[in-house]
Every structure is written in structure tokens, then in C-alpha cells.
A and B are shown apart, each in its own frame.
Chain A
Amino acid sequence: MSGAVTTAHSVVEPSATSRRIAAFLVILYAVVTMVPLAWIFATAWKTPPDSISYPPKVVFDPSLEGYCNLFTTRTRQTDEYIEALGPPQGACDEVTRKREMVIAGPSNYLPRFVNSLIIAFGSTFLAVSLGVFSAYAFSRFKIPLADDLLFFILSTRMMPPIAVAIPIYLMYREIGLSDSALGMILLYTAVNVSLAVWLLKGFIDEIPREYEEAAMIDGYTRLQAFFKVVLPQAATGIAATAIFCLIFAWNEYAFAVLLTSGEAQTAPPFIPTIIGEGGMDWPAVGAGTTLFLIPIVVFTVLLRKHLLRGITFGAVRK
């Protein structure tokens, strides 16, 4: 029996070797998936010649040119003109002049980026708000044909949204929503709301009714009970849903290309246009992409505590 004790290993706890193998596989996978990202970050700090050199340069002198080109428009000038300008104003001016160009003005990247922020966060807020109210109603009240309605809501996701791109394009043109932030917010909300209702219904179903009943007996109205008792407990679900909605709205490309061209253009359709302006400006594309990644990363990191619980939600019952 003593022999059994010394050689036995726990059935539940993984052994040191399998831990090491698991860690190795996870790190390997992380490295593989991080390579394209690392490539983008690196490219953003290269000069245009470095960015297209072959074999690729892993070690290089960092340059601000990518970021400068991203935020400015430039015009080519003669040497005499540039010399007559006097000393360069700031770092960007300096790298631009080396290429025999001068800064003509700001590029459209910043307004496009702001459009993306407004549209993505606006539609996420709308989709989650509508979703949480509908989900609560579906979860708590006897709604006639509730199952059919839920299926109907889900069915809007049964084809790729882009399948209806042409009708939406024509409709938007007709009612004047083309190339407007409002139009894009409504569109992304419509796509996301079904996801939000279904995800949130699952979370709200898990919150015992007793909480609201207790609050209502304590003198609160149903709406007050909803805000004071249900919402705080659904925070995890709301955070997870918000991230999914935000990622969709932030990254959406096809509708954005089709429906926005000027005023309301978002960053995803804008970034590729950089390539067309005076050659393959890969560092500017890298810089644009790097900055584009930041809001989602920040949002996800801020909500990660909720997200981890949210994604594994339902796997283990309390």
C-alpha cells in the first residue's frame, strides 16, 4: 500500500511534465499568432525603403516617417524651394524634407479614426441597451410567441450581413442615410442586436428572480429593481456582449466601403487608400493599423475581469 502512495499521482492535478508541454504549446501558438502583429508594429517604425527590402530587415533604425506620413499630406518640391523655407519645424518636417517634400496639411486619418470611434461605440451602446431590455423581457415575462420572436431575432444572423448590402445601399441612398454616422450606427446596431439579445438572455436567465422580487417587496418599482439589482449582476454578461459587438462594429469593412466614402468614412476603408497615395507606403499603413488596434485592446483590457467569466459562462454551474 505504501508503494501505491509514493508512485500514485493525482488524477486531477496535471503532472509537471504535462504542464511544461502545455506551456510550450501555448507559447508556440502565441508566437505564431503574434508574428503578423509584431511585423505590423515593426513596419510602422521603418523607413519606406527598409519596409520593402529583401531579405526583410529585422534590425533597423527606427524612423518616424510612417507616423508622419499617416497624419500628413505632402507635396514634392524643388531643392531650391525647400532650402528657401529655412530650418525644419519639428521631427516630421525633417523626415519629410529628406524625401524632397514638404507637409501640405493634415491627412484624413484622424477624422476617419474619430468616425470609427463614434460609430463603433455608438452602435455598441445602442445594441447592448436594446439587447439588455429585450433580454430581460424575454427572460421574465410571458410574451406571446416568445420562442418564435427569439428565433426571428436570431434568423437575422442566418445569412452574412453583406448579402443584403445592395438593398441597404439603395434604401440608404433613398432616405439620405448614405455616408452618415447615424446610418452606420443604425446598421451596426441592427446586426449586433440579435447577438446581444441572445447572449444577454442567457445571462439574465441565470439571475434568480428572487433578487427582483426581494427588491420589489422592499418598495422598489420593477424598473428600479432592474437598474439597482439586475444590471449590476448582469455586468459580466453586458461586458462580454459589449466587447463582441464592439469588435464587429470596429472591424467591419464591407458595409463601410459600400456606404461611406467621405464624411462618415471609418478607418478600415481608409487605411487601404494610403497604399494608393504615391507608392506603397507600408510604414504609414503599419502605423495606421497599430493605432487602429489600440481602442479594442484598451477596452478589452479594461473589461478583461468580466470577459473571462463571461466567455466561460455556463460551463460550470454555481
Chain B
Amino acid sequence: MAEIRVENLHKSFGDFAAVKNSNFVVENGEFFILLGPSGCGKTTTLRMIAGLELPTSGRILLGGDDVTFKRAAERDIAFVFQLFALYPHMNVRKNIGFSLKCQGTPSAEINRRVEEAARILRIEHILDKSVSGLSGGDRQRVALGRAIVREPMCFLMDEPLGALDSEFRHLMCGELRGLHNRLKATTVYVTHDQLEAMSMADKIAVMNKGLIEQFGPPQDLYARPASMFVADFLGSPPMNFLHFNAGLARGSGEARLGDAIVQMPVVHEDIAPSDLALGVRPEHISFDDRSALRGSVYGSEYLGTTQIVTVNTDFGQIKARTKSTGEVRPGANVGLRFHADRLSLFDRGSGRAIRSALYEEGAHG
């Protein structure tokens, strides 16, 4: 098991920069997720760590060794592909043992380790079956088996659950995280599904257009998004943005939205009058008739214990997550109150989050 260090990694395909100056460290035993929309460079980053692509510039260190230009075979890593890449001409046992055979492991030892891996994944009963008849979940387990049987320095997984249906994906999420808890293997996992990422990761790096927008534990990313992109990408429904124009002085803890004054964490920088966005998570909104910030209810979605209420305001449409016990009528005029110390403020021009008490608190603890 090893630490993975990525330094100033850059990759261009012709004129197109797929990955721009990425820096991150995956600590020993960590479950690290590269999250982003398709085409953001997350798979390219993973393939460079694996040695399937060579970077244009930058360095990759695996357990302290510079492996930037080493062949994939020399890196001692295991890769789980989205489409599993199980060899159709071999049965499950041979698929799992394929890498050991290459290393010249004696066949008794191969058998022992294949069975051990199968036991961990609970697929002993299909060891002698052909891979073509397997269900999606079993294929996934065989692909994992092929990875864990090698006991490599780290696991790299490229959307391994992408080919499964949603119900099953949820189950496999739990299984994967359980497997990680037992093996404690350094894992880099690529996905575009924020729910998957939030539920499994120790740390997440959110990528967009080749850049790492933010890097940290999921709780941090969710509570203190560094950019509007991250705020919008994480959470379902995503963070609401109330658009307004204002200038704020350092130390100010209020924003003026029309007639309403909204309390928020104290900002730690001076802001010249500009286009801003107040970021509010749906669960930090409540209805309060005394509030001066008004909106009209557009509709609601019932989700069991909670409901998502869509409200049109002068500053944009927002979605609030409230208890489903409170009744809301479409068209009703409601007052909105926000959870004052959980609000984020963004500069709409750059999309960057403005430093405030909320963010400092995160940086210190």
C-alpha cells in the first residue's frame, strides 16, 4: 500500500488541454474519488496514474517512487475498468488468476490466492463458470477479484459501477466501501455520480474542464464549496444561488437582497460592488411569515419524510427541503429564512467563493 502524489500534472491532446496542472496527494489507505462531469479530465488523470497515458508534463509518485514514465506493468497497480474488461475466453478462475500467472506464481499459490479473493468477494460458487453468463454484479465482483488478488500498491477504478443499474449500484457502493474498510488499500476512484462519491470517499477532488476545483473530505466540499461549480455539482437538489449586486466591506455579516437583510457569516475580504450570488443549501431554508424575503410557491415534490418546495423569488428560483408535514399550496406567498451561519457567498464573475467566517472555521478545524 502506498501514497500517491500527483504534482503539476498536465496532459494535452493536440490543442486540447485535458488536464491542467493537477496537484493532489492520496494518502496511504485512503479512498480517494475524482469527481466531475464527463470530459472533465478525471479519467485521463486516472489513466496517467495507471500508466496507460503519458503526461505532457508533471510528475506522479507512487509510494515515493517517480513512476511518471514507467510502463503500466512496472507500477504494481490494479485497475478496474468501467466495462470490467473480463476476458471472455477464460473462466472466472482464470480471469482472476491471470495477473498472477504473468508473475510466474506457482499454480498451487495461484489457486490459493484466487480462492481467497473469491471468498472475500463471496463469489466462490461461480469460480468455474464462464464470464459471459454472469450478471452485472457478479462481473463487477470478478473484476474486483482480479484487482485484489494481486495485492497491489493501489487500486484504480474507472467508474466501476457505471455499467450497473441504479438499484444495484447502491448495493455495490456499500460493498466497495466495506471491501475498502477491510483491505485498507489506497484507492483512486473515478465517477461522475456525486451521490456515489459522497457516500464512499475519504477525500474527493472535484474536477471541471481539466482543473481541480476543490480537494478535500466530502463534508468539507459540501459545507464549504470553493466555487459555484462545486456547490452546484454536489447535493441533490444542488445549492441555490440568489443573484444580487452589492459591495461589501471586510467584517460585514449582512447582505441586502431587495428590501430584505439576510444575516450571513462575516466576510473576510473587501468586495467592490459586483455581481454576487448567495449560496444556500435547500435544507438550510425554512418558511417564516415574518421574513422580509418573499417568494411565491411554484410547486413541491413529496419525498416521504421531506419535500422539496420550489419557490420563485426576485433573485432566482430556489428549492427548499422542508419537513413534509407542512402543507404548501402552489401560488402561496411565503417568507424565507436561511440558516445564517451556513451560507456561502460567491463572486459570480469568477465563480469563486468569498472568504468568510464559515470558510475560516473549516480551514482551522
Contact = CB atoms under 8 A, between A and B. Distances in A.
Given A232-B89, A233-B88, A233-B89, A217 B73 contact: yes
B83 A208 contact: yes
B79 A229 contact: no
B72 interface: yes
B81 interface: yes
How big is the A interface, by class? 10 to 19
B103 A208 contact: no
A218 interface: yes
Interface string B102-124: 11000000000000000000000
A216 B81 contact: no
B36 to A, nearest CB: 21
Given A217-B72, A217-B78, A208 B85 contact: yes
A318 to B, nearest CB: 11
How big is the B interface, by class? 20 to 34
A233 B71 CA distance: 24
Interface in A206-255: 208, 210-211, 213-221, 224, 229, 232-233, 235
Interface in A138-194: none
Contact of B73 (A210, A219, A229): A219
Contacts of B87: 211, 214, 229, 232-233
Residue with the greatest number of chain A CB neighbours at <10 A, chosen from B51, B52, B77, B82: B52
Given A218-B98, A220-B102, A213 B52 contact: yes
Contact of A217 (B51, B82, B88, B103): B51
A151 B32 CA distance: 47
Contacts of B85: 208, 210-211, 213-214
B81 A213 contact: yes
B79 A217 contact: yes
Given A213-B52, A232-B89, A219 B83 contact: no
B133 to A, nearest CB: 14
A22 B52 CA distance: 52
B99 interface: yes
A218 B102 contact: yes
Contacts of B83: 208, 210
B50 interface: yes
Contacts of A216: 52, 71-73
Nearest to A224: B102
B99 A219 contact: yes
A56 to B, nearest CB: 52
A220 B73 contact: yes
Given A232-B89, A233-B88, A213 B72 contact: yes
Contacts of A224: 102
Contacts of A233: 87-89
B99 A218 contact: yes
Contacts of A221: 73
B141 interface: no
Interface in A81-136: none
B103 A213 contact: no
B139 interface: no
Interface in B60-87: 71-73, 75, 77-79, 81-83, 85, 87
Contacts of B79: 213-214, 217
A121 to B, nearest CB: 25
Contacts of A220: 73, 102
A175 B71 CA distance: 46
A229 B94 CA distance: 12
Given A208-B83, A211-B85, A229-B87, A217 B102 contact: no
Contacts of A218: 73, 98-99, 102, 146, 150
A87 to B, nearest CB: 60
B13 to A, nearest CB: 11
A151 B150 CA distance: 44
A218 B51 CA distance: 12
A224 B51 CA distance: 17
A212 to B, nearest CB: 9
Contacts of B89: 232-233, 235
A208 B99 CA distance: 19
Contacts of B52: 213, 216-217
Given A211-B87, A215-B98, A217-B79, 9 more contacts: A210-B81, A214-B87, A217-B50, A217-B73, A218-B98, A218-B102, A219-B99, A220-B73, A233-B87
15 contacts: A208-B83, A208-B85, A210-B85, A211-B85, A213-B81, A213-B85, A214-B85, A214-B146, A216-B52, A217-B52, A217-B73, A218-B99, A218-B150, A219-B103, A224-B102
Interface of B: 50-52, 71-73, 75, 77-79, 81-83, 85, 87-89, 98-99, 102-103, 146, 150
Interface of A: 208, 210-211, 213-221, 224, 229, 232-233, 235
Q: A-B pairs with the 10 shortest C-beta distances?
A: A218-B99, A210-B85, A232-B89, A219-B102, A214-B85, A210-B81, A219-B73, A217-B79, A217-B72, A216-B72
